[in-house]
Amino acid sequence: MTLQRGSSDACRRHAVTRYCQRVRGSSRCAAGAVTVIVLLLAGCRGNNPEYGHAYAPPTGGDPARGLAVIQSYDCGSCHTIPGVRGAHGLVGPPLLWFSRRTYIAGELPNTASNLVRWVQSPTSVEPGTAMPVLGLTDQQARDVAAFLYTLR
């Protein structure tokens, strides 16, 4: 019994030593594993703010006026918006890095015309959404879109 346990311990020690030797000897294999992990992470970077691709499509709007519209309609009561004083709302998603977003509200590809449509008429895209129709004119919606695309 004792002998058996002793021999299995020795066997285990031996196996560990062999394993360590194998691992030590396989730095090339480890480098390969690191490469795979890096590639996997790169594949996942999608909208990562560090690496994501920011786009600022033409909107026909003016970002400075858009900021004023956002302030006067108090979008910040529902959204956290960088660069807008008091915009710390948590009802809707934070509008950080908006120019890197692939989808608007998870529904529409993030293009200028879709963004204009969303801010003017969110319920026509998503009938049950908590975001209300605020009555923005076409120009106001374009200005808001221009501002949102400055968030990169």
The count of residues in the chain is 152
Count of residues near ligand HEC by CB under 6 A: 24
Kindly indicate which of the ranges 4-12, 14-22, 51-59, 91-99 contains the residues binding ligand HEC, using the contact rule CB under 6 A: 91-99
Render 19-72 in DSSP notation, one character per residue: HHHHHHHTHHHHHHHHHHHHHHHHHH-TT-TTTPPP-----S--HHHHHHHHHH
| Residues forming beta bridges with residue 104, ordered by sequence position | 108
Residues 107-146 close enough to bind ligand HEC by CB under 6 A: 118-119, 126, 129-132, 134, 144
Nearer to ligand HEC, 43 or 128 (CB): 128
Q: Residues 38 to 77: which contact ligand HEC by CB under 6 A?
A: 70, 73, 75, 77
Instruction: Establish if 84 lies at the interface with ligand HEC (CB under 6 A).
Output: no
